[in-house]
Structure 1
Amino acid sequence: MLKFLIVILGVGWLLGQLIRYFLRSKVAKFAQQVKKAAEEEQRASRKPQEEGEVHVDFIPKTYQERRTKDIKGGDYVDYEEVKE
């Protein structure tokens, strides 16, 4: 009975060490991927834009839908002609 408990504890300890090793390697690999992606994004955001150039990264879908449905042919603005 004592041998059985020692073997079970030894196998449990060994499995724990192996799992810990594999988890650390997976976490390290994931961290490298995240770091690489962040560097690429930072490199892409550093591109110099010419003066007067406008770049939009993201337009919310709700804004696009509302914009296309509200504006048809332009807006009408009342004005009063002032003669001097």
Structure 2
Amino acid sequence: MQTTTPDENINLALLEDATLSGSVSNGRGTPQAILYDPLIEDYSTRTNWNEYGVGFGDDLGRPDADNGFKMASRLAYDKGY
């Protein structure tokens, strides 16, 4: 496998072959809404709030790392980072 030097100007989650997912349903926003694009120095998609998470007023209490909400980006192939 060829190793590539990470580039701070690329958000891997914005690549065409990236698939985004998250564990929150019926909450605020989408995982795409919080993706920052370093090339334009702004969110890749502008919304009113650019947020993702549980609904307004929902109380998760104090979840630990295993019980909080999650967001993931899966790439079609290994980028070598």
The alignment's TM-score, normalised by the length of structure 2, stands at: 0.20
Write 1 or 2 for the structure with the bigger share of helix.
1
The alignment's TM-score, normalised by the length of structure 1, stands at: 0.19
Larger CA Rg, structure 1 vs 2: 1
